[in-house]
Amino acid sequence: MSDQVPACLTAEVVSIGDEMTSGARLDTNAQWLSRRLGELGLQVKFHSTVGDTLADNVDVFRIAASRANVVVSTGGLGPTRDDLTREALAAAIDRPLVQFDSALQHIESMFASRGRQMPARNHMQAMFPEGSQEIFNPQGTAPGVDLKFDSGGRVFALPGVPAEMKRMFDETVSPRILKDATAVGSAGGSHIRHDVMKFFGTGESDMEERLGQMIDRKRSPRVGITVSKATISLRITATGNSESDCAAQIAETRAEILERVSEFYFGDGETYDQQHAIDQQLRIAGQSLSIIELGRAAPLGDWFAAIEPTTSYRGGLSMSAATDLMAMLETDSIEASMATIAKKFASDWVILVDEYPSLDPSADQPIPASDVSIFVYDPAGNLHQKTVKIGGHPSIIQPRIAKTAMQFLRQQLQ
Amino acid sequence: MSDQVPACLTAEVVSIGDEMTSGARLDTNAQWLSRRLGELGLQVKFHSTVGDTLADNVDVFRIAASRANVVVSTGGLGPTRDDLTREALAAAIDRPLVQFDSALQHIESMFASRGRQMPARNHMQAMFPEGSQEIFNPQGTAPGVDLKFDSGGRVFALPGVPAEMKRMFDETVSPRILKDATAVGSAGGSHIRHDVMKFFGTGESDMEERLGQMIDRKRSPRVGITVSKATISLRITATGNSESDCAAQIAETRAEILERVSEFYFGDGETYDQQHAIDQQLRIAGQSLSIIELGRAAPLGDWFAAIEPTTSYRGGLSMSAATDLMAMLETDSIEASMATIAKKFASDWVILVDEYPSLDPSADQPIPASDVSIFVYDPAGNLHQKTVKIGGHPSIIQPRIAKTAMQFLRQQLQ
């Protein structure tokens, strides 16, 4: 691990399209690119969003290329009249558009593979500002543009389609940036590797406090913290001269992280959440689970159903209140209801949430904490119960309850 | 309705904070403000996002105020050292910061109402660039800044907290913009009124084609189209000299819309979706519903549980496959299973989705359409069935299936 402060390349992310400036679409590309650029060790200083107007695009590219070392844009590379990125780049750098034969051949072959002839308007997608490099697009007809401005910035123009944009960034743009960064001494080498660790059970600020200097942006490997509906992700990014160098750095950083916050750790991976950890553990034990959710939400049923592959999830039941549940099952207690469900669903474990509170959907303010009871019925027929107080913003409160329930279940599984 | 083309004020939205440029948080404020500004008849030309660095903030405000008539910023108004918006505005316009006594009193009273003394650092929140107007913040300690630049732009600086920002925009900023817009002849009057109509059953481009010139940005009242997980919203914005003038314009536009696309219309309101329409209809009829969801999702159970108030939703059940359902209920058909559930849950109607497909969670590309069967069991004990082919992007496919099921149920309810 190196602690020296490297010279830092700066970056700007540009998003192009009327659908973004008008607010019709939420710009998630800029967020994704900002995280990736940060992981490469760059400091993202600006985002700019601009509509489909040529003069505005020219201005935005000129400003961006003069104030950032790396500019990554998305959008405006399609075949329609609204797609102005190539033209804007050529005007901003004052060079003509020229045809790249390799790009034209790729576009023609994309159409041929679908049994179609290339429409005339797609010809435009093979035109590049003189002096550009092509950015290969394995999934679509729009190649990207890689163009160095005299004012210092290097512009990478990518399509707006997220799947195409992400792949082109990871496969082509990221290595080119890493090469530039290494040349100016702001990155640790030619290889890059990521690792994502997942945590639940504390807040972001507590996590930051416990991690201390580990989340400093100048640390190497970098540790980035993000939070999505109360689940915390730590993304470790190592750069080095070989894959094994990166792997060794990541292993060391993981160990350091676990020394500080192991009690909240439950697994690895961008889309991994507690339901996956529970399913994995149940499958290993050859056991199964069913879920009862009472009150004004039923997220666990949806989350567990979506796990693939799962052989542990038997089914879920949602009802308004415990009284309704007992009436339907003809039982006289929560415990007896859970025993009945365990039998009916042939499941070893049952978890019950009683109950998700009523939320005013129009409120946009934190609501006070209220009591929620979580019950776990285990394979030996024992009932475990915990009551928690949960409040917060209405958009987060039901997921937080569901995730607290999963945390309690995980404790019983251990 | 007036068809003349008004002179159009331009706007820029500025978002401030390292958490945005780094990608740690998704910027939803910019989208919300863009829609609101569009509804006021302004053309939003740019969004700019900048971190917590003074010089960068000064640059962004200077550029924005010189290229847009109206600039709305969010963030940087808190009491910490990272909060630089006041200082940046003062530097950008080259004027000193002066204390506004009214603002200081408000901040002190906010703390007093919580039984606390104002910390010294909050004093900064009462400082304004000379010549500013205060924007009252009824919910928090951070007042907003309203400042006219010599370069032409009028800057409204609001806090980043969405609830505070939205209320301050609607209560104070929006009327001030409307007054400016009326003065330059680009708005139809001093009053503004909104109406949101909801649709399901066709795509955005078909909807746009059917609506034709009705969605032209120069039309008055304006009709804006947005899509969220296959539900289409049309937001009508009327400006006029009185409430009743606005209401009359909206009524006329609603009638025109329904002439063109009534077959997809199901109700009104920003957060209104088909489950609310179904619940409303069932409550009026004094009837009830239960839900069975098979396969790799169970969104309907979650959505119906969340409706408030509902007396029509009895409960939901989710399982992997129809065979599991029949085994549990000891029945030999879907129909018999639905009859059993109707009886157990004491519900008049039962809807069953068979089944939500398996999705590769890592795929970021549209998946081919596959057959999904939807069954509705009515109060007379009749079974209605429909098979639909549904494909698309993985993030949208399960909601689309659930919403298609609700559409089929609505047809049976009629």
Q: Domain coordinates of chain B in residue numbers?
A: 10-183, 191-268, 274-413
Peptide bond into A355 cis (omega under 30): yes
Residue pair B374/B408 in contact (Cβ under 8 Å)? The answer is: yes
Which of A287, A385, A407, A278 is CA-nearest to residue A342?
A287
User: What b-and-e string marks burial along B157-179, b requiring 16 or more CB atoms within 10 Å of the CB?
Assistant: bbbbbbebbbbbbeebbbeebbe
Q: Is B195 on the interface with A (CB under 8 A)?
A: no
Put simply, the answer to whether B324 touches A315 (Cβ < 8 Å) is yes
pLDDT, residue B4, reads 38
User: What b-and-e string marks burial along B189-210, b requiring 16 or more CB atoms within 10 Å of the CB?
Assistant: eebbbbbbbbbbbeeeeebeeb
CB atoms within 10 A of CB B266: 20
Sort A370 into a burial class: Cβ within 10 Å, 0-12 / 13-18 / 19+: middle
Q: Give the Cα separation of A268 and A272 in Å (integer).
A: 6
Size of the A and B interface in Cβ pairs below 8 Å: 210
Q: Is A34 on the interface with B (CB under 8 A)?
A: yes
Domain spanning A274-413, CATH class = alpha beta
Put simply, the answer to whether A162 touches B364 (Cβ < 8 Å) is yes
Take residue B384 and report the two structure tokens written for it.
């209605």
pLDDT, residue B6, reads 41
pLDDT, residue A186, reads 63
Question: Which residue from B35, B224, B306 is facing A296, i.e. has the nearest CB?
Answer: B306
- CATH code of A191-268, in short, is 3.30.70.2860
Q: Is B59 on the interface with A (CB under 8 A)?
A: yes
What tens-digit pLDDT sequence spans chain B (414 residues)? 333 334 589 999 999 999 899 998 899 999 999 999 988 889 999 999 999 999 999 999 999 999 999 999 999 998 888 899 999 999 999 999 999 999 999 999 888 888 888 888 889 999 999 999 999 998 888 899 999 999 889 999 999 989 899 999 999 999 999 888 877 766 667 788 889 999 999 988 889 899 999 988 778 898 988 888 889 999 998 888 888 999 999 999 999 999 999 999 999 998 899 999 999 999 999 999 999 999 999 999 999 999 987 789 999 999 999 999 999 999 999 999 999 999 999 999 999 999 999 887 666 677 888 899 999 999 999 999 999 999 887 888 999 999 999 999 999 998
Take residue A29 and report the two structure tokens written for it.
């590309």
What parts of chain A have a pLDDT lower than 50?
1-6
Residue type for position B380: A
Residue pair B301/A298 in contact (Cβ under 8 Å)? The answer is: yes
Q: Is A20 on the interface with B (CB under 8 A)?
A: yes
Residue type for position A376: V
- pLDDT tens-digit readout, A120-155: 888 999 999 999 999 999 888 889 999 999 988 999
Which of A299, A295, A221 is CA-nearest to residue A255?
A221
pLDDT, residue A187, reads 61
Q: How far is A28 from chain B (nearest CA, A)?
A: 7
Chain B positions touching A328 (Cβ under 8 A) are 315, 344-346
Longest dimension (CA), chain A: 81
How do strand A367-377 and strand A349-356 relate by DSSP bridges? antiparallel
**Structure ipTM:** 0.81
Query: What φ, ψ does residue B199 adopt, rounded to 5°?
Result: -140, 150
pLDDT, residue B5, reads 37
Residue pair B164/B137 in contact (Cβ under 8 Å)? The answer is: yes
> Which alpha helices (DSSP H) does A215-262 contain, by range?
243-261
The strand pairing partners of A148, in sequence order, are A154
Which of B19, B91, B79 is CA-nearest to residue B49?
B19
Q: Give the Cα separation of B116 and B101 in Å (integer).
A: 19
- pLDDT tens-digit readout, A304-352: 999 988 889 999 999 999 999 999 999 999 999 999 999 999 999 999 9
User: What b-and-e string marks burial along A97-113, b requiring 16 or more CB atoms within 10 Å of the CB?
Assistant: beebeebbebbbebeee
Q: Is A265 on the interface with B (CB under 8 A)?
A: no
Residue pair A408/A266 in contact (Cβ under 8 Å)? The answer is: no
Q: List, as one string, the DSSP characters of B218-259.
A: TSBSEEEEEEETTEEEEEEEEEESSHHHHHHHHHHHHHHHHH
Residue pair A147/A129 in contact (Cβ under 8 Å)? The answer is: yes
Q: Is A10 on the interface with B (CB under 8 A)?
A: no
The strand pairing partners of A72, in sequence order, are A13, A156
Longest dimension (CA), chain B: 81
Q: How far is A245 from chain B (nearest CA, A)?
A: 26
The CATH topology of domain A10-183 is Molybdenum Cofactor Biosythetic Enzyme; Chain A (3.40.980)
Kindly give, in sequence order, each residue whose CB lies less than 8 Å from that of residue B235, ignoring residues fewer than 6 positions away. B35, B39, B194, B195, B196, B223, B224, B226
